[in-house]
A and B are shown apart, each in its own frame.
Chain A
Amino acid sequence: MRFFKFYLPISLAFAMAILGITSVFVPHHYSDNFQKETVVWFRVLGGVTMFIGAYSLLKVHFNRIRRQQKGWGYSALLYAFFITVITCAIVNYDTATGKSKGPLEARNMATKDGVNWIFNAIQRPASATQYSLLGFFICSAAYRTFRAKTVEAAVLLVAALIVMLGQVPLSATISGAIPWMSNWLLNWPNMAVKRAILFGICVGSVGTSLRVMFGIERSYMGGD
Chain B
Amino acid sequence: MKLESIFDVDRRFVFVGIFLALLIPMLVPYPLPCKPNKDVENMYIGIDDAISRGKKIFLSFEYDPTGAAEQEPMARAVMRHIFSRGGKAVIMCKSGGQQGQEMHQQLLADCAQEYGRSYGADYCYLPYKPGSTNLVINLGQSLRSTWPQDVGGTDLADLEVTRDVQRLADFGYVMIICSSLTTVVDWLTYGQGPYNLNMGFGVLGNVTPDVANYTNSGQIKGLLGGLIGAAQYEQILLDKGINLMRRFSPADLASAHMVSFCSRLSDPEADGLGRYVWDALSPATQAAVRDVIKEGYDNLNAAAKTDIAAALNRVIMRTDVIPDAELSKAKPGHQVASLLDGQLKERAPQILRRLIVEKEFGKALVAAQSAGQAMTWMTPQSIAHVVLIVAILFGNACYLYDRARRKKHSQI
Contact = CB atoms under 8 A, between A and B. Distances in A.
Interface of A: 32, 35-36, 39, 42-43, 46-47, 106, 109-110, 116, 119-120, 123-125, 127-128, 130-132, 135-136, 139-140, 142-144, 146-149, 157, 161, 164-165, 167-170, 172-173, 179, 183, 186-187, 190-191, 194-195, 198
A164 B385 contact: yes
B99 A47 contact: no
B388 A187 contact: no
Contacts of A170: 32, 379, 382-383, 385-386
A46 B216 contact: no
Contact of B105 (A109, A130, A172, A191): A109
A35 B190 CA distance: 12
A43 B127 CA distance: 16
B19 to A, nearest CB: 7
B185 to A, nearest CB: 10
B378 interface: yes
A121 to B, nearest CB: 12
B210 interface: yes
Contacts of A116: 102
Contact of A109 (B102, B145, B395): B102
Nearest to A190: B209
A169 B231 contact: yes
B98 to A, nearest CB: 10
A109 B101 contact: yes
Contacts, number: 140
Contacts of A42: 131, 133-134
B96 to A, nearest CB: 12
Contact of B389 (A46, A164, A183): A164
B399 interface: yes
Nearest to B133: A42
Interface residues of B, number: 59
A110 B7 CA distance: 50
A145 to B, nearest CB: 8
Contacts of A43: 130-131, 134
Contacts of A164: 385, 388-389
Contacts of B381: 168
B169 to A, nearest CB: 14
**Across the A-B interface, the 5 shortest Cβ-Cβ residue pairs:** A170-B382, A168-B382, A128-B65, A140-B11, A39-B134
27 contacts: A35-B141, A39-B134, A39-B137, A39-B138, A42-B133, A42-B134, A109-B105, A128-B68, A131-B66, A140-B14, A143-B14, A143-B395, A144-B8, A147-B399, A149-B399, A165-B386, A167-B205, A169-B32, A169-B33, A169-B35, A169-B382, A172-B34, A186-B209, A190-B209, A191-B216, A194-B210, A194-B213
A128 B399 CA distance: 36
Nearest to B142: A36
A112 B35 CA distance: 43
Contact of B209 (A123, A149, A194): A194
A45 to B, nearest CB: 10
Contacts of B127: 109
Contacts of B216: 187, 191
A147 B213 CA distance: 29
Contact of A128 (B35, B66, B134, B231): B66
Contacts of A35: 137, 141
Contacts of A106: 153
A143 B391 contact: yes
Most chain-B CB neighbours within 10 Å: which of A39, A183, A194, A198?
Answer: A39
Interface in B358-395: 378-379, 381-386, 388-389, 391-393, 395
By secondary structure, the A interface counts as helix
Given A127-B66, A168-B378, A179-B35, 11 more contacts: A36-B141, A42-B131, A43-B130, A116-B102, A139-B388, A147-B7, A164-B385, A169-B228, A173-B32, A191-B216, A194-B209
B69 to A, nearest CB: 7
B18 interface: yes
Contact of A124 (B19, B35, B65, B226): B65
Interface string B126-161: 010011011001100100010000010100000000
Contacts of A32: 141
Nearest to A163: B209
A148 B400 contact: yes
A143 B388 contact: yes
Contacts of B101: 109
B44 to A, nearest CB: 18
A186 B212 contact: yes
B67 interface: yes
B122 interface: no
Nearest to B70: A131
A164 B391 CA distance: 13
B32 A135 contact: no
Contact of A165 (B133, B151, B378, B385): B385
A136 B151 CA distance: 38
Interface in B214-265: 216, 226, 228, 231
A127 B385 contact: no
A142 B388 contact: yes
B213 A195 contact: yes
A197 to B, nearest CB: 10
Given A143-B395, A168-B382, A127 B65 contact: yes
A128 to B, nearest CB: 4
Contacts of B130: 43, 46-47
